[in-house]
Amino acid sequence: MTALTAGALAASVVAGLGSRWATRARVVRSGAPIRVPRHAAAVVALVGMAALAPPLAAAAGGGWWTHQRLAVRRRRIAAAAEVRRALPDAVDLLRLATTAGLSLALSHPLVARHADGAVGDALRQAADAAERGVARADALVAALAPLGERGRGVADALSDHLRYGVPLLPALDRIGLELRLDRRRAAELEARRVPVRLLGPLVTCVLPAFALLTVVPLLVASLEALPL
C-alpha cells in the first residue's frame, strides 16, 4: 500500500469517526445544530483514539497529515495548470482588442466576460472593483497577483500602461509569446510522462492477459503431450 493510499484511508477513517462522535456530541444553538468542520472532527477523533489506542492514533494522525499535505499540493498544481492554460488566451484577447483600437478600460470588461477559470474570475473581480471606483491598475494588480508569477507579469504590464502610459501592444506581444511557449513546454512535458503512466496498466492488465492467452495454452499443450 502506497503512502498516498494509506494516508487517504487514514484520513477517511479519522474524519468518519470524528464526524460520528461530533454528531453525537453536537451543540444546539437557537434550535439548529452547529456543524462541526472536517478538521475539527478529525481532531476529535484523534483525541478519542489517543485515549483508547495511542499507537493507532499516532499512525492515523500521521496518515491524515500526509493526506492533507498531498491534497493541498494537488490543488496548488491544478490551480497553476489552469492559470497556465487560460492566461495566454486572455492575453491574446486583450491584444486583439487593443489592435482593434479599444482602450484597456473598454477591453478589460469585454475580455473578462470570455475568459475561463480563475483568470476569468480575477479579471471580472478587477472589473467590478474598477466600476466601484477603485483605480483599475490597483484592481488588476490585486486580482491577478494571487495567480502566481505569470499573473503578476500580466498585471505589471497592464498597470504600467495605465499608470505611466507604457505602450500596451508590445508588452502584450512579448507576454503572450512567453505564455504560449510556457504552455507548450508544459504540454510537451505532460506528453513525455504518458509512457511512464502507462506502465502500471501495462504491467497489471496487459501482460497478465498476454501470458494467459499465449503462454498458458502452450504449457497446457506441452503437459498434455508428456507421456504418463
pLDDT at 108: 95
pLDDT at 29: 41
> Which is it for the CA torsion 72, 74, 80, 83, positive or negative?
negative
Nine cell digits for residue 65: 497529515
Cell 503512502, residue located: 3
Per-residue pLDDT of the chain (228 residues; tens, 9 = 90+): 444 444 444 445 445 544 444 444 443 344 444 444 555 555 556 565 566 666 665 666 677 667 778 888 888 888 888 999 999 999 999 999 999 999 999 999 999 999 988 999 999 999 999 999 999 999 999 999 999 999 999 999 999 999 999 999 999 999 999 999 999 999 999 899 888 888 888 888 888 888 888 887 888 877 777 776
pLDDT at 174: 94
pLDDT at 78: 85
pLDDT at 55: 67
pLDDT at 215: 81
pTM for the predicted model, two decimal places: 0.65
DSSP 109-165: HHHHHH--HHHHHHHHHHHHHHHTT--HHHHHHHHHGGG-HHHHHHHHHHHHHHHH-
Nine cell digits for residue 87: 492566461
Listed by start position, the domains of the chain span: 3-77, 79-189
- Whose CA is closest to 143, among 160, 119, 178? 119
